[in-house]
Every structure is written in C-alpha cells, then in structure tokens.
Amino acid sequence: MKHSQRIGVAVRDEIRAFIQDTFLYMRPDLELQDDDNLMGLGVIDSLGFVELVEEVQSRYAIAIDDIEITEENLGSVSAIVRFIGAKRRS
C-alpha cells in the first residue's frame, strides 16, 4: 500500500469513528456505508454539519471556506475523505 493510500484509510477510519460517536449513537441499527448520503439518511442535520466542519478543520489543520460546505464535499464519508485529501494537497 502506498503512503497516500494509507493516509486515506486512516482519515476514513477517523471520520467514520467521529460520525459514529457524534451522530450514530442514536441509530444503533444503521450500518453506515462510505457512499451513503449523510443528509438523506438523516444521519447529520445542519447543526451536525457545523460540528463536522469544526472537527475536520481542527483535526486536519485545514481551512474550509463557506462555499465549500456542500453536498459534493461533505455529503458522504467518501466525499469527506476525498475533500480532505484535496485540501491537504492544495
């Protein structure tokens, strides 16, 4: 496994763990898939996205602009991992 892939896996696990601990404790029967739509499934609401953005900014030391808080960037675990990867490379 390449270094960047390992980092991607670590980020994925961390994001999943954060979502699990922060939002999914209310939904014990839900098995979240990486491509599941977080809003569509009702996993995260608007205030939840504010928490998620704060967590991602502080944990990965990246700055997320207002216009970047979109479904494409934060709508699923996969999207978040991709977005963090792109932000760290930029």
Partner 1 sequence: MNPRTLGDELRAAAARRGDHDAIVAGPRRLSYAELDRAADGFAAGLRGLGVQRGDRVAVILRNGIEPAIAIYGALRAGAAFTPLNPTAKAHKLAHLLAHSGAIAAVCSSDIAQTVGAAAVKAPNFRHLIVAGDPIDGSRSFEELVSTEPAAMREVLDVDLSAIIYTSGSTGMPKGVVFLHRNMRFVAGSIVEYLGLHAGDRILCVLPLSHTYGLYHLIMAVRVGATLVLEHGMTFPGRIVEALEREQITVLPGVPTVWQVLISLRGLADRDLPHLRLLTNAGAALSVSQLAAVRRTFSQARMFSMYGQTECKRVCYLPPDQLNARPASVGIAIPGTEVWIEDEAGREVGPGEVGELMIRGDHIMQGYWNDPQATARKLEQGRFPGDRVLRSGDLFRRDREGFLYFVGRTDDIIKSRGEKIAPREIEEVLYAATGVREAAVVGVDDALLGQAVIAHVSAVEGYALDPLALRRHCAEQLEDYMVPKTVVVHAELPKTDNGKLDKLTLRALGPGPAARAGCV
Report the interface residues with partner 1, using CB under 8 A: 21-22, 25-26, 28, 39, 44-47, 49-50, 53-54, 63-71, 73-75
Tokens of 22: 């922060």
Which residue, 8 or 22, has its beta carbon nearer to partner 1?
A: 22
CB of 61 to partner 1, least distance (A): 14
Which residue, 9 or 17, has its beta carbon nearer to partner 1?
A: 17
40 three-class SS? coil
Q: How crowded is residue 73: how many other Cβ atoms within 10 Å of its Cβ? A: 19
Tokens of 33: 């898939």
Give the residue from 74, 85, 79, 73 showing the smallest Cα distance to 35: 79
CB of 90 to partner 1, least distance (A): 15
CB of 73 to partner 1, least distance (A): 8
Q: What secondary structure letter does DSSP report for 38?
A: T
Which residue, 32 or 69, has its beta carbon nearer to partner 1?
A: 69
